[in-house]
Amino acid sequence: MVGTYQPNKRKKAKKHGFFARKESNVLKNRRKKGRKKLCK
């Protein structure tokens, strides 16, 4: 019996990691707003 959540670090990073955020405008907007922390 296998649980429902099968964590995959690579997949998660690709979707929510720094480089994924860099591709979209997320970081740009956060920089513009003057955030101390851009990404988690």
Q: Each residue of 14-27: b (16+ CB within 10 Å) or e?
A: eeeeeeebeeeeeb
- Does pTM surpass 0.85? no
Q: How far apart are CA 24 and CA 15, in angstroms?
A: 11
Predicted pLDDT at 5: 95
Q: pLDDT tens across 6-28, in order? A: 999 999 999 999 999 999 999 99
Rg of the chain (C-alpha set): 14
Predicted pLDDT at 40: 81
Among positive and negative, which fits the CA dihedral 27, 32, 33, 34?
Answer: positive
Cβ distance 38 to 30 under 8 Å? Answer: yes
Q: What is the mean predicted confidence (pLDDT) over 35-40?
A: 90
